[in-house]
Every structure is written in C-alpha cells, then in structure tokens.
Amino acid sequence: MKIINIVGARPQFIKYFPISRVIKHFNRQVDSGINDVLIHTGQHYDYNMSKIFFDGFGIKEPDYHLEVGSATHGEQTAEILKKTEAVLLEEKPDVVMVYGDTNSTLGGALAAAKLHMPVAHVEAGLRSFNKYMPEEINRILTDQVSTCLFCPSKHPVNQLETEGFAAGINNGELVTEKMLTRIGEQMKFDKNNPLVVNTGDVMYDVLLTTQEIAEKKSNIIDKLGLHEKEFGILTIHRPENTDNPEKFKEIVSFVNNVVGDKKIFFPMHPRTKKAYDDVNCTFADNIKIIDPVSYFDLIMLLKNSNLLLTDSGGMQKESYWLRVPCITLREETEWIETLESGWNILYRDYSGSHIPDLVGDKDSQGLLYGDGHAAEKIISLLIAGFAT
C-alpha cells in the first residue's frame, strides 16, 4: 500500500510524526509493506516554523518539497493543488492523507479527490461555525471530499452525522483495537459512502510518547531561568485576532489586564510579529516576547507553567492534557470538550481581571480525545481497507 502524506504547516509536522512512527513500526513487525511518501508543501518555511520539527522528531526528509511559500489564500491553495496533482499523477498512491485545516490540507485533498484517489482526513468533523475563519472553509471542504474521516472525539462524529454523513462506526465512541480488522474488511472505501470513525487524537499520541524526550532534549526552563508554576504562556496567531487592529488591541488589553504583573512568555508567530509592529498598542513589560520554539520546548514551557492564554487549537488540548488552566482568545472553539472539562474558558466568558482559578474534572483527564493510540488505529484501518 502506498500512502502519500501531505504536510505543510507547523501543526501538521507534529500530527504526521506518530503516523510515520506507526508505519515504520508496522513495516518492521508485520512486514505490512507500507510505502510512506511525504510531500511538504512549503506553506511554512522558516527554520523555527518547519525544519526544527523535522529535526526534533527525526522525521525523514520530504520526498517532495513543493516550495509554495506565502501568498494570498487563493494563490497559495491553487499552487498546492497544482503541484500536488503532478506528484499524485506520478506516484499513483492508494490513499492520500491530509491533516487538520490549513490551506495545505484543502489543496492536497482537492488534488487527490479530483483524481478519484481516496482521501483520509485526520482531524475530521471539527467545526467553529465561523466561516470568517479560513480554517473553517478548509475543514468543511476537505471533509466533503474525504473517503475516510478520522475524528479525534465523539463530537465531530455527531457533527458529521448532522451534516448528512453516514452514522459513525461504533455510534461515534472510540474504536477499540479489537474492532479494527472487522471494520477495515467491511469498508468498501466508496467515495459516495465515506467512513466516519472516532480514532482519538494523534496529538495526544505525540504528547504521551514524547514527554520523556522533551525532558531530556529541552533546556528552555533553565535557559530562561524559570521556576515551576511561576509563569504563564501566551500565543496568538489567528488572522481574526492579528489582522484586525481593533481586535488586536482588544486582545492586548485583555491579556495585560488578566495577567497583571505575572511573568508571561510569548513565542511570537511571524504573522503576529508583523501585525504587532504595525499596531498602536503594547504588551506589558512582564510579557516577554520570544521567537517561536520547538515542540519539545513548548511542551516543557507549558507543563511548567500555571496559565495559558492562546488562540491555538492544539494548545487548548495540550493544556487540558497537562492540567494547565487555559483562557482561549477566541469567540468560539472547536474543542468544546475542553470547555466542558472545566480547564478551558473563552475569554468573552471570563469576566474577572485576575488569573482565573480553573480546575477541571481530574478524573476525565486525558480520556476525552482517545487513548493515545490514534495513529495505530488509523493505519490499521487503512491496512485492512486498502492493502491488496
């Protein structure tokens, strides 16, 4: 079986890591003969937005680098579509795997679907119900052309059902190892009848398998002279926050107000850096702006912190898994289970002017997004369904 994996933006390098690891493992253990071909679209290209993740995780060099770089949404997506199509025609894969909700996800999925190749979407079914977000457009369209919709939890399975997709396998409950072969054998991989299944979240696989490595590889806590649970983390990169100066000012003022004199570290995304240079407001002096950091550094920072303020989807879940209270700097979130858990709150719903005392349900910790074996389930299903 030949799988083409398409990545291009920072979170996709992280999501591909457990998939690539499982493929290698399966090839060694049971000689499953999976040919893993990797395409990097080049959507992210700075060292600390791209290569730092390949180096950190030991991900192989991409087989194809499309070098699309930054552009308007239409131009970037079109370049990805065009260049991916050329690779797909040459490689003739059995399945094309895309991740999340970026322009690389949509461009890759469209290229494959137009060639009648099965598309497997990792992180399917998420919705913010805000079509002003480019990610929402990307998710909806990618799901519509996908053959296998791998959902990280039960909510997105239910959402897909309400949109007219077939009922999720196992009523949307997490699939178990035992069920995999039977489901795979029954799958027809019919584009007109896609498979919807709750496999759990690959980001949880990554967190569980790399914590020890992060402890060894990262020295950021010492480097920044930090003490456990005495500082917070801030990240902002969504266009709806950075590209509207009034909104950006509102966020800056909210953050300054909430954190008071607490020490905060802010690894700043390049988009945000440009917007911040142009906007007429400043973060308080105790909010230290640093360059974007590696996954391992970020996890060590988060784990040792006692507050997260973010508009990132991935970090809302990571803070939930690491039991760090999170204020989400958005009007809504796709990760509603984190709100329900009590560890996350939308900034509009937070009326206080000091650091909130969020303490969620510790018993449900870690269980809302699978059991840490999402990648194994995804690859097992593909083997059962596609291997000839």
E strand or H helix at 4? strand 2-7
Residues 214-253 that bind ligand UD1 (CB under 6 A): 237
Minimal CA–CA distance to 203: which of 95, 100, 305, 50?
A: 100
Is 44 a binder of ligand UD1 (CB under 6 A)?
A: yes
The residue among 45 and 254 lying less far from ligand UD1, judged by its C-beta, is 45
The residue among 71 and 221 lying less far from ligand UD1, judged by its C-beta, is 71
Is 310 a binder of ligand UD1 (CB under 6 A)?
A: no
Identified catalytic residue from 155, 237, 269, 373: 237
- Which of 25, 27, 37, 45 is close enough to bind ligand UD1 by CB under 6 A? 45
Is 15 a binder of ligand UD1 (CB under 6 A)?
A: no
Looking at residue 131, its amino acid is K
Give the gyration radius of the chain's Cα atoms: 20
Could you tell me where the DSSP H helices lie in the chain?
Answer: 10-30, 51-57, 73-91, 103-114, 134-144, 154-162, 180-186, 202-217, 220-223, 239-242, 245-259, 270-278, 295-304, 313-321, 336-341, 374-386
The residue among 14 and 157 lying less far from ligand UD1, judged by its C-beta, is 14
The answer to whether the beta carbons of residues 164 and 116 sit under 8 Å apart is: no
E strand or H helix at 287? strand 287-290
Please enumerate, as own/partner, the contacts of 242-247 that have beta carbons within 8 Å and a separation of 24 or more: 242/271, 242/272, 242/275, 242/276, 243/275, 245/275, 245/278, 245/279, 245/280
The answer to whether the beta carbons of residues 121 and 110 sit under 8 Å apart is: no
What's the min distance (Å) between Cβ of 59 and ligand UD1?
A: 16
Is 254 a binder of ligand UD1 (CB under 6 A)?
A: no
Is 358 a binder of ligand UD1 (CB under 6 A)?
A: no
The residue among 124 and 180 lying less far from ligand UD1, judged by its C-beta, is 124
Is 377 a binder of ligand UD1 (CB under 6 A)?
A: no
- Which of 79, 94, 123, 135 is close enough to bind ligand UD1 by CB under 6 A? 135
The residue among 74 and 225 lying less far from ligand UD1, judged by its C-beta, is 74
Residue 7 forms beta bridges with which residues? 40
What's the min distance (Å) between Cβ of 44 and ligand UD1?
A: 4
What's the min distance (Å) between Cβ of 129 and ligand UD1?
A: 16
- Which of 101, 136, 201, 205 is close enough to bind ligand UD1 by CB under 6 A? 101
- Where does this chain touch ligand UD1 (CB under 6 A) — which range of 38-46, 55-63, 247-255, 281-289? 38-46
Q: Are strands 308-310 and 326-328 parallel, antiparallel or unpaired?
A: parallel
* Cα separation values, 265 from 31, 56, 61, 294, 298, Å: 46, 21, 31, 14, 10
Is 315 a binder of ligand UD1 (CB under 6 A)?
A: no
Is 136 a binder of ligand UD1 (CB under 6 A)?
A: no
Is 67 a binder of ligand UD1 (CB under 6 A)?
A: no
- Which of 9, 19, 22, 234 is close enough to bind ligand UD1 by CB under 6 A? 9
- Which of 32, 134, 247, 286 is close enough to bind ligand UD1 by CB under 6 A? 134
Is 102 a binder of ligand UD1 (CB under 6 A)?
A: yes
Is 338 a binder of ligand UD1 (CB under 6 A)?
A: no
Residue 237 annotated to the active site? yes
Q: Other C-beta atoms within 10 Å of 63: how many?
A: 15
Is 356 a binder of ligand UD1 (CB under 6 A)?
A: no
Q: Is the dihedral of CA 42, 45, 51, 53 positive or negative?
A: negative
- Which of 24, 33, 46, 60 is close enough to bind ligand UD1 by CB under 6 A? 46
Is 49 a binder of ligand UD1 (CB under 6 A)?
A: yes
The answer to whether the beta carbons of residues 236 and 347 sit under 8 Å apart is: no
- Where does this chain touch ligand UD1 (CB under 6 A) — which range of 84-92, 99-107, 151-159, 255-263? 99-107
Is 10 a binder of ligand UD1 (CB under 6 A)?
A: yes
Tell me the DSSP string of 35-64.
EEEEEE--SS-SGGGTHHHHHHHTPPPPSE
Question: Where does this chain bind ligand UD1 (CB under 6 A)?
Answer: 9-11, 43-46, 49, 70, 101-103, 134-135, 237, 270-271
Active site amino acids: 237
